[in-house]
Structure formats: C-alpha cells, structure tokens
C-alpha cells in the first residue's frame, strides 16, 4: 500500500489541539453569557456564578480528556 | 525519586549547550519509588511518597478541625472562626443552594470531600511535598466511586427502584418513539460517563497543572548556561513557573469546589425526582 500523505511527529499534540476547539468555544460562550447575565441581573449573582462554573466544568472535561488520552494510549 | 530521574535524559549536567536536547517531562514524573512495602494476608501494600502525602492531608484536616472545635464557644475566636467559615461555605454556598434544606444531613459528606480534595490538590505547590495526591489516577477514582455508591443507592432508597431509574432513563414529556434513542443515551450519560468524568476532571486538571509547572521548572534549569539567551530564557521560564504556581493555587481551589458542587448536584438528583 502506498501512502499518499503521512503525519509524523507528536500526534498527541495535534489531537489535543483538535480536542480543545470545542471546549474553547463552549467555555467562551459560557462565561460570556454568564457575565452578561450578571450585568443584567446583579442580584442573581450567586445562582448565575454557580451554574456558570458547573457548565464550565462540564465543557472543560472534554478538553482534559483530550489532554490525557495521548498519555493513556501512547503517541 | 532523585532529581536525576526528573531531569530525564541528561541528568544534572544537561544544559543548553551540552547537546542533550530539552528533557521534556512525561508521565514518569508521577512514578515514585517505594519507601516501604509489606504484605498483609496476600495483599501487597506499597508505600510511596504519594501515600505519605495523602495520609498527611488526612491527619492535617483531622488535626485542624479537632483543634478548631475542641471547645466550641458561642462567640468563635481564632481557629474556630476559620473552621466555621469553612463549614458555612459548604452549607450555604453549596448544600443549601443546590440541594436545599433537606441537604443539611449531607453537609459532613460534602465538607469532608471538599477539604480532602482541596488539601491533596494543594500538596502540589507545597514545598517538599510538591505532588498533588489527586494527580495519581487511583485517588480521584476512589473519591468518585465513593460518591457514586452514595447517590445511586440513595436515589433508589428515596424514590424507589422504578421511580429513580424510570425518571432517569425515561424522562417524561417526550414522544414515545424517541425513547429508543433517548434511553440508551441517558443510561450512558448518567450511569457511566458521569462518574468517569467526575474522576477524570479532577485527575486531568491536577496532572496537567503539575506537568506544566514541571516543564517550566526544568526549562529554567536546562536553559541556565553562560550565554545571553540562556540567562534571559532561564529567568523567563522561572518567572512563568512562579506565575503558574499562583495560577495552580486558583485551579486547585476551583477543582475542589467543582468536585463538591457536582457531588451535591448528584445527591440532589437522587433526593428529588425530576419534574
């Protein structure tokens, strides 16, 4: 079988870069909307902050799985 | 573990111009030699630095809170003040907000988790300890398993077997054919992915943070040589390593908070049926 294209070097870093796109966008939206919500309704700060951090944690997990995966499966 | 193992390929003589290449740290910086090992009833016990750090955390927490509440006074002073602040942070900031009034009997559970996770995270930047106990995967897994075997039986006990799993796997208000798609997804996300990410989130954050600090510390050591680039680079790396240590302190607190917050969310889901 002849190879048409090949990627060499640290594939783990490329994988992590790809895995970070989605959570990066997601975390940006979460905190952007969160700050907007606090600006509109400062008295609801406690509840908004809590839900903001919760959403951040759920989105961030994906990026972190991408970070750990190369260590687990080897490069 | 000796410094030579950490400065992986070239040892202590590895510097910018000695041609050894940058010894980037990998997963091996989380492996420690046994300090002691023994066997009880065919079970092997290996005591390494991580075990000692974890036990140190447990005894520090026990020691501090026993000291703080040994003679509780109506008007708190000193250590009791700090202890009560911690307690109120968990009760009002997490338990009452997420679970509600009936969550008060879970406050000790959340309280223990928060402080154990926070202190074992904090061990990552404490001089001489310098390994977050939670960056060894077994430890967050043990924490997540304890949380898992708490909220699932709790839900069955409070809502009944059918009520709990029915409410979880067959959310109401959905067209019937959708259950073909929805039920396996709900099963996967609630009972399998949920505990897995609970453990991985804490582990990966501490793992990544420790690796990052190690990378810049080794870079500062590696670049230190008699050249302009070496001195500037070494100073810059050292500065970044110090800044990252401060950033890690924030992350450590945040991760302990998130771990406890998610525990409270799971317990709340087990206590109250979804509407």
Q: What is the DSSP string of B93-145?
A: IIIHHHT-GGGGGGHHHHHHHHHHHHHHHHTTTSTTT-S-GGGSTHHHHHHHH
Contacts of A2 (CB under 8 A, 6+ apart): none
Specify whether the CB–CB gap between A15 and A69 falls below 8 A: yes
- Write down the pLDDT at residue B1: 44
In tens, the pLDDT along B214-264 reads 888 888 888 888 788 888 989 999 999 999 999 899 889 999 999 999 999
Q: What is the 3-state secondary structure (H, E, C) of B233-273?
A: HHHHHHHHHHHHHHHHHHHHHHHHHHHHHHHHHHHHHHHCC
Whether chain B has a CB inside 8 Å of the CB on A68: the answer is yes
Query: Which of A57-66, B91-100, B113-122, B178-187 has the highest average model confidence (pLDDT)?
Result: B113-122
**Residue ranges per structural domain of chain B:** 50-271
Q: Is B265 on the interface with A (CB under 8 A)?
A: yes
What are chain A's domains? 13-67 (1.20.20.10)
Mutate to test the interface with B, among A10, A57, A72, A73 (most CBs of B within 10 A): A57
> What ipTM goes with this model?
0.75
Q: What is the pLDDT of residues B19-70, one digit of tens each?
A: 777 777 878 888 888 888 888 888 888 889 999 999 999 999 999 999 988 8
Q: Each residue of B157-190: pLDDT tens digit?
A: 998 888 899 888 888 888 888 889 999 999 998 9
């Amino acid at each position: 079988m002849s190879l048409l294209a090949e990627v060499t070097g640290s594939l783990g870093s490329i994988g992590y870069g790809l895995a970070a796109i989605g959570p990066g966008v997601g975390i940006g939206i979460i905190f952007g909307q969160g700050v907007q919500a606090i600006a509109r309704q400062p008295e609801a700060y406690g509840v908004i902050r809590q839900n903001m951090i919760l959403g951040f944690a759920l989105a961030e997990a994906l990026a972190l799985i991408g970070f750990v995966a190369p260590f687990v499966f080897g490069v | 573990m000796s410094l030579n193992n950490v400065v992986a390929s070239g040892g202590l003589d590895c510097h910018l111009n000695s041609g050894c290449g940058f010894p980037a740290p990998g997963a091996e910086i989380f492996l420690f030699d046994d300090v002691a090992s023994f066997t009880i009833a065919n079970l092997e016990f290996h005591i390494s630095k991580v075990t000692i750090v974890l036990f140190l955390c447990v005894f520090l927490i026990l020691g501090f809170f026993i000291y703080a509440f040994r003679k509780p006074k109506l008007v708190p002073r000193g250590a009791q003040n700090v202890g009560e602040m911690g307690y109120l942070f968990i009760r009002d900031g997490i338990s009452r907000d997420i679970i509600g009034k009936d969550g008060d009997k879970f406050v000790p559970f959340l309280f223990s988790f928060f402080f154990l996770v926070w202190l074992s995270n904090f061990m990552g930047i404490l001089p001489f300890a310098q390994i977050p106990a939670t960056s060894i995967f077994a430890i967050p897994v043990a924490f997540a398993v304890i949380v898992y075997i708490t909220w699932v039986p709790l839900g069955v006990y409070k809502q009944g077997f059918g009520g709990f799993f029915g409410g979880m796997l067959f959310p109401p208000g959905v067209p019937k054919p959708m259950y073909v798609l929805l039920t396996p997804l709900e099963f996967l996300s609630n009972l399998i992915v949920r505990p897995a990410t609970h453990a991985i989130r804490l582990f990966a954050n501490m793992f990544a943070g420790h690796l990052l600090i190690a990378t810049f510390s080794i870079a500062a050591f590696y670049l230190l040589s008699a050249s302009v680039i070496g001195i500037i680079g070494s100073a810059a790396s050292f500065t970044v390593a110090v800044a990252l240590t401060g950033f890690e302190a924030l992350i450590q607190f945040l991760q302990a908070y998130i771990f406890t917050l998610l525990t409270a969310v799971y317990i709340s889901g087990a206590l109250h049926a979804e509407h």
